[in-house]
């Protein structure tokens, strides 16, 4: 790679963005996301380390996309903390989508703690040019 | 107090116990702050990636780090003189010219972190795995660092 790769900095996990009160047990974090769009689809990529596929909820209703994933504490019962720089808890984030999404075609994949959600757009009706024939 | 007395069978709370409990809590807090590592309790150490949790058991140390999207191949671990080194690179997704980004929060780049473990370890039996973006390294303590039970012989 020609360009110099930058070195990563550790950041404190971000708390919830929404003002709504949380009734989830334990700490809640805002996962970091990439969202990009191509002609046919919107792709949401979210970092949710420690979240297993079965503990992840994805919900789309009335243009609001909700991601909620619970990371269970991996520590055994006999383990004693020596150093604790991060906490585990629930990742939660909501987005409002402007495009119409083809719901049955939504695809979600969880690999190495990264969620990749593909939301295909409903194709708009192709404009049809009407030619008027001169009689 | 009245309830406790009427229940009869329950152990009674004496003034003494209350102060003992406070003293115990005070000692616990002091113990926490004595650990060199505890000075950076709950905040990333000078922003060095990745953030790390260390726990211990009778026989092992557990070092954990959240590394979403990092495959085992992108990671390099080594232990020398009780110092664990975690190095690697988080790669970014290849960009496509046709894509339009709305959010770009996930970062990519190289990282390297060294952690000195609190006691002698048996580096040869270290076990590491990476599941769901969570790296877990199990490092057995050296025999000399394990707690020993001392039997008292009656004369």
Tell me, what's the ipTM? 0.77
Distance CA B121, CA B132 (A): 27
β-pairing, B134-140 with B109-116?
unpaired
Calculate how close chain B gets to A39, using CA atoms only, in Å.
8
Confidence of residue A85 (pLDDT cuts 50, 70, 90): confident
β-pairing, A90-96 with A28-29?
parallel
The label of the residue with tokens 């057995």 reads B140
Contacts of A1 in chain B (CB under 8 A): none
pLDDT at A34: 92
Average pLDDT over residues B108-127: 90
Q: Select the residue from B57, B110, B132 to test the A interface by mutation, using most A Cβ atoms within 10 A.
A: B132
β-pairing, A33-37 with B83-90?
unpaired
Q: Is the pLDDT of residue B15 over 90?
A: no
DSSP B127: E
Contacts of A80 in chain B (CB under 8 A): 55-57
This prediction's pTM:
0.72
Q: Check B53 against A84: CB less than 8 A apart.
A: yes
Q: Is the pLDDT of residue B7 over 60?
A: no
Confidence of residue B40 (pLDDT cuts 50, 70, 90): very low
Q: Is the pLDDT of residue A48 over 80?
A: yes
pLDDT at B129: 92
Distance CA B36, CA A72 (A): 28
Q: Is the pLDDT of residue A59 over 50?
A: yes
- Percentage above 70 pLDDT, chain A: 88
Distance CA B107, CA B105 (A): 6
Q: Which residues of chain B from 20 to 49 reach within 8 Å of chain A, CB to CB?
A: 35, 37-38, 40-45, 47-49
Which chain B residue's Cα is nearest to A14? B105
pLDDT at A61: 86
């Amino acid at each position: 790679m020609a360009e110099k790769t930058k070195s990563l900095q550790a950041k404190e996990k971000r708390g919830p963005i929404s003002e709504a009160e949380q009734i989830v047990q334990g700490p809640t974090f805002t996962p970091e996301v990439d969202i990009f769009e191509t002609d046919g689809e919107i792709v949401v990529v979210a970092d949710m380390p420690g979240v297993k596929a079965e503990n992840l909820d994805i919900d789309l209703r009335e243009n609001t996309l909700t991601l909620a994933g619970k990371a269970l504490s991996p520590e055994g019962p006999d383990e004693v903390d020596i150093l604790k720089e991060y906490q585990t808890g629930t990742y939660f984030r909501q987005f409002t989508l402007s495009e119409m999404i083809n719901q049955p075609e939504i695809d979600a994949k969880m690999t190495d703690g990264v969620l990749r959600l593909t939301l295909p757009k409903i194709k708009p009706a192709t404009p049809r040019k009407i030619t008027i024939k001169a009689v | 107090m009245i309830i406790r007395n009427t229940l009869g069978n329950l152990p009674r709370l004496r003034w003494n116990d209350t102060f003992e409990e406070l003293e115990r809590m005070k000692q616990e807090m002091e113990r926490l702050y004595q650990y060199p590592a505890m000075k950076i309790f709950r905040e990333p150490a000078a922003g060095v990636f990745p953030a790390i949790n260390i726990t211990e058991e009778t026989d092992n140390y557990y070092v954990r780090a959240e590394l979403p999207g990092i495959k085992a191949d992108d990671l390099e671990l080594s232990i020398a003189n009780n110092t664990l080194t975690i190095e690697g690179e988080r790669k970014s997704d290849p960009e496509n010219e046709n894509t339009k980004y709305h959010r770009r929060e996930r970062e990519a780049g190289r990282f390297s972190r060294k952690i000195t473990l609190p006691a002698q370890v048996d580096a040869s039996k270290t076990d590491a795995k990476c599941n769901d973006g969570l790296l877990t390294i199990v490092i057995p303590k050296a025999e000399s660092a394990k707690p020993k039970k001392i039997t008292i012989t009656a004369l």
